[in-house]
Structure 1
Amino acid sequence: MEAPRPLAGGRATYGGRATEWSRAIRDGRALRRAPVQVYGLRPLPADVSAPSPLPWLAAVCALFVILQVALVAPGSGLGWDETVYASQVSRHAPPAFFSAPRARGITYLIAPVTELTSSPTVLRIVLALLSGAGLLGALWIWRRLLPTRVLALGGALFATLWITLYYAPQAMPNPWSAYATLAAVGCFLRAVRDRTDRRARVMLPLAVAVVALMRPPDAVWLVLALAAAALVVPRWRRPALVLLLVAGLLLGGADWIVEAYTRYGGLFARLHRAAEIQGGIGWNLAVEDQIRSLDGVGLCRPCDVPWTHPVTAAWWFTLPVLFLGGALAAVRAKRPATALLPGAVAVVMAVPYLFLIDYAAPRFLLPSYALLALPVADCLCRLIARGGRLRPLATLLVAVALLGHLAIQGAVLTGNTARNRHMRQDFRAVATALHGLGVRPPCTLSGENAVQIAYYTGCFSRQIGGPDASITPEGLLAEAARRPVALLVPPRTAPPAFARAWHPAPLSGATRFRGYRAYLAPVPKAPKRAAR
């Protein structure tokens, strides 16, 4: 038998073969299968000096929560959409009309809170804590794909947008769609990089299901983008991932689909009604509307408001340039997929809100902003450091630019929260005035701003027209025969014919509603008791 030949490091071979393989088998130590590496998704290099991602990401998300609780939660009230969602599970007010485009995911999330209290501040604080956890979970999924510094900076950039800070503690589905979208793209990249990453394959459909539960249209566009990537890119071709994506879409959208058949006569009937409420789905260039809405406009419909502060959109115009810089940085780091796929999915998910509807709301693009934040952070990290060393001049310029950006975001946020607090005071004043006029639960309100005022008053809200049309004039008259009914009419507007004989009463004491009148239906007469 051939004598063993020594190798470097003291190992011996027989016939040129290392004995460590046979020893591993003999000792019962199974060799771990190496992950399947895909071009553009190389694993991060081992670096014992690299910081652990958890403390940094936790610090970013903790600051995110603190800013929400300190700047947004105190004294703020529920907006129009929030009152619709909250009223579905609130003991304080009866459920408002739930229109076809809406999904009930956010109502399930807030149900435990509204079951215990009607305080908007408590709801804000709970949602702020949950938002911090949601962002942390989404960023944590990316820890195997991007360096800690990129994840921390990307999370901070997204968390400090006024749109994120303003809507994260609200009972709105858009932030949750953003967190879940970011998580889904990260799970997808991990799954195509390493076929043995079982956690990624399990979390991928769950993340898609959360998006579908919160915002079904967002989930459809997300699944289309990721499924195309799984089928078109040769080295990512994983038909099984397409099945997981579709399964997540069906799982999260099941509630919406079932409700379509129980309330609207079928899925296509609900889709048709949803399109009608949104003004029709078709070619509508809403890019300028989205840019204008960055001035602090919650809903730009119609978007004919003056654009008084164009500087609020400066970051929006620099976003494509910074993304390209992030893509170049990812290419140089030999992981281009970590920038190109988030960028592609962000564009796909922004398409309906930029080109298919004729109005704008800045919260619609939160999923796209969450995805683009990571390549932008990659670009900034590349600018300020190279070869592990900071570049002083570049660091100074980036720091100054970021401070200016944060100042603008803070100014817009401050203005929005101040308006929200004044809104809450006005709604509470109107509710007090209506109570003084005898409009007390059980009661029904209709007309201008009836949905929000009804929530604060504890009444039903029923509209005879518009996107929330849920009753006819005859039906409203029938309501007036059973309970107090008031029709809210703005200044210089005549009431509809069926309410002209009703008693008008001014709604004084509220700045927002100065000049408004409440037309009160005749008080229902109590039935006469039969004489004995």
Structure 2
Amino acid sequence: MADGSNVTMTGAIRTGCPPWSARPRRRWGEPWLAAVAGAFTLAQLVLVRPDLGLGWDETVYVSQVSGQVPAAFFSAPRARGVSLLAAPIASWSDSTALLRIYLAVLSGLALYFALRVWRAQVMPRVLALAGALFASLWVTLFYGPQAMPNYWVALGALACVGCFLRARADSGDRAGLCGVFAGAALMAWMRPMDAVYVVLPLLALALRRPRLLVVLAAGLLAGSGEWVIEAYVSYGGLAQRLSDASRIQGGLGLHLAVVDQWHSLGGRTLCRPCTGLAPNLVETLWWFALPVLAALGAVRARRALPVLLPLACAATAAVPYLFLIGYAAPRFLLPAYALLALPVAHGLAHLVSTPRRRTGRTVAVGLVASCLAAHLAVQYVVLERTLRSSAATRDNWFRTASALHTLGVRPPCLLSGYEAVPIAFYTGCGSAQTDGHDTSTTAAALARAAHRTPLAVLTRSGDRPPAYARTWSMERAGVLHAYVAPFVRQGR
């Protein structure tokens, strides 16, 4: 390894700096970061594929800014950051492929800049390894090109913590302060409550640094401002919105969701309820190795904040999704994974550098490389399984939408019932529900709407329709049954 990394390592030892620390203003490692970000973008385009249809939550976010479909009901926990992120494409085009390509490129660029803020804190190759570890997770690859908030919270967290360390070390670092503000704002813009949990350790460290504390708080307020204002305009106040959000998430409280999160790692995008067979242990072994390697990196760091602080922020970011809600989705832990990648990379670097003899080091490098190769293979297998399942679900929605068009349910129209929200997006209709998390109307209002709007109620085979639709004509629509309002039948 007679390259620049050894020069940095030797120089660090001679000057008394720890070997995990990078020298400030060293830029020769940035091509590694660019390579990681570029490979991440390419992997999204090749493996996830731009033609994957929009998922349920994506249809809600995209419909808010789409010029082609009515806006779906926007429930209390959601924030509008993703909608605004998708707006440059979704506001004028209905091409899912174009939206995916845009988000894939944007997510790769954002990963590069989020990693770049750490270049003065972490050795370039360790930093590149951290980025590669995060970017190669199946859940990161799957959600990178999607109109979903969790990946962007993860990058906001990574950037915010890195810039916080810069600003803490140099109070005159304006770029660091701006990064703290921007990272906190991005997190709060996407998911306000997630942002609060991520920055708890930062707030504790900033108590004796008023300027840094003000900048961090200002970022949180700037990002969540729209969400708070909307709470008073549309949800009956902030307390009511928080209460509604808690109810929709099953009631925030003490819930042990660790096992549920483990169950979701086999490729289930939502585990609610989390029943069925447990995932293959080989496919989830990496999850159990994360805390071990992170702890190894922390021990090796010996109080070094560039390792300990992301570890602390990862822990607080994971708390609500491991212990406070009663269901699981692998994307919920993306911010924790992004932050954990740094101490894990340090832990792996320690394993490789510990043997003093060349033979021992060669063996260590070989073992670590073999484990990482096996890890990549596992991530690919789970990603492919998740893509097949997700594509099948979206194809069912598309077929149902095509059948509804054949039945005369065309825009402007309205859907209600089972999976009405995503199917309405594919059909070009609005959606309205009388119960559940997306309750936005009443049965009486839908019965009245049936006399002036093409309306259909969707049910699974064997389920009964609501009382107001029991006299309507029942038709087959893909794998579902559609009870079509008489107004539609008369108009055909």
Aligned-residue RMSD, C-alpha: 2.2
| 1:287-306 matches, cutoff 5 A | 287-306=258-277
**Residue among 181, 188, 201 paired with 2:177:** 201
Could you say which residue in structure 1 is the equivalent of 2:10?
none
Q: 1:44 to 1:282 in 2, by over 3 A?
A: closer
For residue 481 of structure 1, report the CA deviation from its aligned partner: 1.3
| 1:179-198 matches, cutoff 5 A | 179-198=155-174
1:520 and 2:484 matched: yes
How big is each residue's C-alpha offset from its partner over 1:17-74, in whole Å with a ceiling of 9 and x where there is no partner?
xxxxxxxxxxxxxxxxxxxxxx9999946599x8712111000000000000001124
Any conservation in 1 of the 2:20–2:346 contact (CA below 8 Å)?
no
**Residue among 414, 417, 430 paired with 2:400:** 430
Once residues 451 and 271 of structure 1 are traced to their aligned partners in structure 2, the CA distance between those partners, rounded to angstroms, is: 23
Could you say which residue in structure 2 is the equivalent of 1:269?
240
For residue 494 of structure 1, report the CA deviation from its aligned partner: 1.2
Once residues 154 and 279 of structure 2 are traced to their aligned partners in structure 1, the CA distance between those partners, rounded to angstroms, is: 28
1:444 and 2:414 matched: yes
Aligned residue for 2:286, secondary structure, equals: helix
Once residues 186 and 416 of structure 1 are traced to their aligned partners in structure 2, the CA distance between those partners, rounded to angstroms, is: 32
Any conservation in 1 of the 2:264–2:330 contact (CA below 8 Å)?
yes
Any conservation in 2 of the 1:103–1:214 contact (CA below 8 Å)?
yes
Could you say which residue in structure 1 is the equivalent of 2:313?
345
How big is each residue's C-alpha offset from its partner over 1:146-196, in whole Å with a ceiling of 9 and x where there is no partner?
000111000000000000000010000100000010000101111111222
**Residue among 78, 83, 102 paired with 2:54:** 78
Q: How many residues align?
A: 474
Could you say which residue in structure 2 is the equivalent of 1:4?
none
For residue 388 of structure 1, report the CA deviation from its aligned partner: 11
Any conservation in 2 of the 1:149–1:381 contact (CA below 8 Å)?
no
Could you say which residue in structure 2 is the equivalent of 1:239?
210
Aligned residue for 2:463, secondary structure, equals: coil
| 1:434-513 matches, cutoff 5 A | 434-508=404-478, 513=479
| 1:15-164 matches, cutoff 5 A | 44=21, 46=23, 52-164=28-140
For residue 82 of structure 1, report the CA deviation from its aligned partner: 0.2
Q: 1:229 to 1:358 in 2, by over 3 A?
A: same
Could you say which residue in structure 1 is the equivalent of 2:12?
none
Give % identity: 51
For residue 312 of structure 1, report the CA deviation from its aligned partner: 1.9
Q: 1:412 to 1:45 in 2, by over 3 A?
A: closer
Once residues 89 and 264 of structure 1 are traced to their aligned partners in structure 2, the CA distance between those partners, rounded to angstroms, is: 20
Alignment gaps of 5+ in structure 1: 1-38, 232-236, 528-532
Could you say which residue in structure 2 is the equivalent of 1:281?
252
For residue 382 of structure 1, report the CA deviation from its aligned partner: 1.9
Once residues 195 and 241 of structure 1 are traced to their aligned partners in structure 2, the CA distance between those partners, rounded to angstroms, is: 8
Q: 1:486 to 1:388 in 2, by over 3 A?
A: farther
For residue 384 of structure 1, report the CA deviation from its aligned partner: 1.6
Aligned residue for 1:290, secondary structure, equals: helix
Once residues 192 and 42 of structure 1 are traced to their aligned partners in structure 2, the CA distance between those partners, rounded to angstroms, is: 21
Could you say which residue in structure 2 is the equivalent of 1:377?
345
**Residue among 188, 193, 218 paired with 2:194:** 218
Runs of 4+ in structure 1 over 4 Å off = 39-48, 386-390, 524-527
Once residues 17 and 200 of structure 2 are traced to their aligned partners in structure 1, the CA distance between those partners, rounded to angstroms, is: 21
Could you say which residue in structure 1 is the equivalent of 2:336?
368
Once residues 209 and 134 of structure 2 are traced to their aligned partners in structure 1, the CA distance between those partners, rounded to angstroms, is: 31
Letter in structure 2 aligned against 1:270 = R
Q: 1:396 to 1:60 in 2, by over 3 A?
A: same
Q: 1:45 to 1:520 in 2, by over 3 A?
A: closer
Aligned residue for 1:446, secondary structure, equals: strand
Any conservation in 1 of the 2:410–2:427 contact (CA below 8 Å)?
yes
TM, length-normalised to structure 2: 0.92
Aligned residue for 2:416, secondary structure, equals: strand
How big is each residue's C-alpha offset from its partner over 1:295-338, in whole Å with a ceiling of 9 and x where there is no partner?
1111111111321423221111111110111112322xxx6211
Aligned residue for 1:102, secondary structure, equals: coil
Any conservation in 1 of the 2:475–2:483 contact (CA below 8 Å)?
yes
How big is each residue's C-alpha offset from its partner over 1:240-280, in whole Å with a ceiling of 9 and x where there is no partner?
21111111111000110110011012111111111111111
Any conservation in 2 of the 1:41–1:189 contact (CA below 8 Å)?
no
Q: Who wins on radius of gyration, i.e. which is larger?
A: 1
Any conservation in 2 of the 1:462–1:469 contact (CA below 8 Å)?
yes
Aligned residue for 2:486, secondary structure, equals: coil
Once residues 259 and 251 of structure 1 are traced to their aligned partners in structure 2, the CA distance between those partners, rounded to angstroms, is: 14
How big is each residue's C-alpha offset from its partner over 1:473-525, in whole Å with a ceiling of 9 and x where there is no partner?
001111111111100010121112221111100124xxxx2xx2100111169
Q: Greater helix percent: which structure?
A: 2
Letter in structure 2 aligned against 1:458 = G
Once residues 438 and 163 of structure 1 are traced to their aligned partners in structure 2, the CA distance between those partners, rounded to angstroms, is: 39
Any conservation in 2 of the 1:444–1:460 contact (CA below 8 Å)?
yes
Any conservation in 2 of the 1:504–1:518 contact (CA below 8 Å)?
yes
Aligned residue for 2:458, secondary structure, equals: strand
Letter in structure 2 aligned against 1:302 = P
Any conservation in 1 of the 2:24–2:119 contact (CA below 8 Å)?
no
Aligned residue for 1:430, secondary structure, equals: helix
Any conservation in 2 of the 1:41–1:338 contact (CA below 8 Å)?
no
Once residues 142 and 187 of structure 1 are traced to their aligned partners in structure 2, the CA distance between those partners, rounded to angstroms, is: 8
1:316 and 2:287 matched: yes
Once residues 157 and 264 of structure 1 are traced to their aligned partners in structure 2, the CA distance between those partners, rounded to angstroms, is: 40
Could you say which residue in structure 2 is the equivalent of 1:8?
none
Could you say which residue in structure 2 is the equivalent of 1:10?
none
1:392 and 2:368 matched: no
Aligned residue for 2:246, secondary structure, equals: helix
For residue 138 of structure 1, report the CA deviation from its aligned partner: 0.6
Letter in structure 2 aligned against 1:491 = S
Q: 1:43 to 1:481 in 2, by over 3 A?
A: same
Once residues 175 and 27 of structure 2 are traced to their aligned partners in structure 1, the CA distance between those partners, rounded to angstroms, is: 23
